[in-house]
Structure 1
Amino acid sequence: MPDFIYLASQSPRRRQLLDQLGVRHELLLADADEDAETLEAVHGREAPARYVQRVTALKLAAAVARHRARGLPQAPILCADTTVALGARILGKPEDAQDATRMLQALSGQRHRVLTAVAVQHGAERLQALSVSQVEFDTLGAAQIAAYVASGEPLGKAGAYAVQGRAQAFIRQLRGSYSGIMGLPMFETAQLLRQAGLAC
Structure 2
Amino acid sequence: MVNLQDEPSIYLASQSPRRRELLQQIGVLHRVVAANVTEVPRTQESPSAYVQRLAREKAEAGFATVKASQMPVKAVLGADTIVVVNNEILEKPQDAQHAAAMLRKLAGTEHQVMTAVAMIMQEKCSVKLSVTDVVFRPLEDDEIAAYWKTGEPCDKAGGYGIQGLGAVFVQQIRGSYTGVVGLPIEQTVALLQEFAIPYWQQTA
Q: What's the TM-score, normalizing by structure 1?
A: 0.93
Give runs of ≥4 in structure 1 deviating > 4 Å. Answer: none
Measured after TM superposition, the shift of residue 114 of structure 1 is 0.2
The 5 A counterparts of 1:112-123 are 112-123=111-122
Q: Distance in 2 between matches of 1:171 and 1:5?
A: 33
Once residues 71 and 28 of structure 1 are traced to their aligned partners in structure 2, the CA distance between those partners, rounded to angstroms, is: 12
How much identity, in percent, do the aligned residues show? 44
| Matched residue, 1:43 | 42
What is the Cα deviation at residue 44 of structure 1?
3.2
SS in 1 for 2:153: coil
Q: Does 1:151 align with 2:150?
A: yes
CA contact (8 A) 1:3 1:198 kept: no
- One-letter code of the match for 1:61? E
Q: Which residue of the partner structure matches residue 89 of structure 2?
A: 90
Q: Is the 8 A contact 1:110 1:137 kept in 2?
A: yes
Q: Secondary structure at the match of 1:64?
A: helix
Structure 2: 5+ residue runs without aligned partners? 1-6, 200-204
Cα–Cα, structure 1 residues 165 and 3, in superposed 2: closer, same or farther, change >3 Å? closer
- What is the DSSP-based 3-state SS (H/G/I as helix, E as strand, rest coil) of the residue aligned with 1:46? coil
State the 1:123 CA deviation.
Answer: 3.0
Show the counterpart of 1:5.
Answer: 10
TM, length-normalised to structure 2: 0.91
CA distance in 1 between counterparts of 2:27 and 2:45 reads: 36
Q: Equivalent residue for 1:16?
A: 21
Equivalents in 1 of 2:192, 2:119: separation in Å?
8
Determine the C-alpha separation between the residues in 1 that align with 2:45 and 2:137: 28
Residue number in structure 2 paired with 1:74? 73
Q: How well do the aligned residues superpose, as a CA RMSD in angstroms? A: 1.3
- Give the whole-Å Cα distance in 1 for the aligned partners of 2:55 and 2:24: 21
Which residue in the other structure is 1:59 paired with? 58
Shift of 1:92: 0.7
Q: Which runs of 5+ in 1 are unaligned?
A: none
User: What is the CA-CA distance between 1:150 and the residue it aligns to?
Assistant: 1.2
Separation in 2 of the partners of 1:3 and 1:89? Answer: 37
Distance (whole Å) between structure 2 residues aligned to residue 108 and residue 45 of structure 1: 26
Task: Find the aligned partners of 2:140 and 2:68 in 1 and give their Cα distance.
Answer: 50
* Closer, same or farther: CA 142–3 of 1 in aligned 2, 3 Å: closer
